[in-house]
Structure 1
Amino acid sequence: MDREHRLKRLRFRAWHRGTKEADLLIGGFFDAHHVRWGDDEIALFETLLEEQDVDIMAWAMGTQAVPVQYRGPLMAALETLNYVPIAR
């Protein structure tokens, strides 16, 4: 599968998680960061999307320890939470 197709598929999966909160956190993160990702980051994000939303959200908010396989720059960027759109 080519890069563009993988990214389109990931964007859909990131924005269709099942709850609005998860959509905003995971989808917003994808939109803010995917253009800078190489194949390794894409593969890691694909794996991350297999996890439960409550776990991903807990890792991003720091209420649960991040599993070893996800520690690194991608998770550090997820933990910033500066990509979540907030209506004012």
Structure 2
Amino acid sequence: MPANYRYRGQNIITKLKNKVLRKAKLFLNLLCLKNRQFGKISPITLTITNLFLKTKKNATRLKSSRGIPLLNKRITNCLKRSGFVRI
């Protein structure tokens, strides 16, 4: 897909970045409402950051987070349930 491909007046990469950021904000808000244990947020922040960087490089890499370290099974399942990643 060309880098300058436009979708409804928006660059497709920009559209994917915005989608990732929206889901990231919603997910972190949900997590903070459920519990105030901020130690659990750092692996999730790492996941979101890596997905955001992968989106910038190549839109097709947004589909999976298998290569991202520090994800335990509980956090991975939570991310899958939220629809944030598909593994």
More strand by share: 2
Q: Which has the higher contact order (CA 8 A, sep 6+)?
A: 1
Q: Quickly name the TM-score band, shorter chain normalised.
A: 0.3 to 0.5
The higher radius of gyration belongs to 2
